[in-house]
Amino acid sequence: MTSNCNQKQLCFWMAARMWDSGIPRRTSVKLSQFSLAIVVVAASLVPLGAQSNHSVLLLSGGTWHLHSRIPLGSDTLLLQPAHRMVNMFATAEASEFEGWNLTAERHQPVLLDTAGNPVRELPKSITFRVTVGTLGKLTNAEPVALECSKSLNDFLLDMHFTAQVFRGMEMQEVHPARVWMIGVPADEPSDERIYRASFDFGNLRPDDRIVLLLTDSNGVRLGKFHLEFL
């Protein structure tokens, strides 16, 4: 994802490039350090005079250029009593995203397809890639403490995924069509696991908000990542 706007957008573009090169990074949208409409890692909409930072950037004349893989940022846990830091990095992937642009028209954000027409529907199928492990983090944000009696390897193998789709005040919960790991096989110990979770959402509008929830087998929430455009 690249942009032609100001310094904050440049920082996000650099972060996206670092992700593509395999270097971990943290970008947050809506309730975190960088508020960018395209991707959100935090809770939901944060008012900034009825607008989030991404809206301000867009209204100042910038455009976000999307690619098929959209970074969703990171969350950090501190496992106790082991005092072990675990970082989670996520992206949303769909071939349809490639070439889309998020810009502003008549003082309102608008999502455009490759032909420059407003996007009417989001991809019906979206795959999330989540890396969980003891990777170094790029921010000084305080991690969330979590009591955990499991070994690191067992903890990393106990990841479960659910998506919530918000449309106005309504919420629909969606379970993944498929979840699988790539990289190190599950029967080999590792301090990093890479998951892919594919969801069939059906009909999605550009103003729908998608939240990816990570939990353990007991339902304890470990992290959440937001995908939001408008």
Asked whether the beta carbons of 57 and 9 are under 8 A apart, the reply is yes
CA neighbor of 146 nearest in space, from 221, 205, 228: 221
Residue 117 near residue 48, CB atoms below 8 Å: no
Quote the pLDDT of residue 217: 95
pLDDT of 46 above 50:
no
Percent of the chain at pLDDT exceeding 90: 64
Q: What pLDDT band is residue 184 in, cutting at 50, 70 and 90?
A: very high
Q: Write down the residue that tokens 């937001």 correspond to.
A: 226
pLDDT number for residue 33: 31
What average pLDDT does this structure show over 76-95? 95
Q: Give this prediction's pTM.
A: 0.76
User: CB–CB of 35/54 below 8 Å?
Assistant: yes
Residue with tokens 């009417």: 120
Q: In the prediction, which pLDDT does 64 show?
A: 87
188-195 average pLDDT score: 96
pLDDT, residue 51, reads: 36
For position 58, what pLDDT does the model report? 56
Lowest-confidence segment of 20-29, 158-167, 204-213, 217-226 by average pLDDT: 20-29
29-33, 70-74, 216-220: which range is least confident on average? 29-33
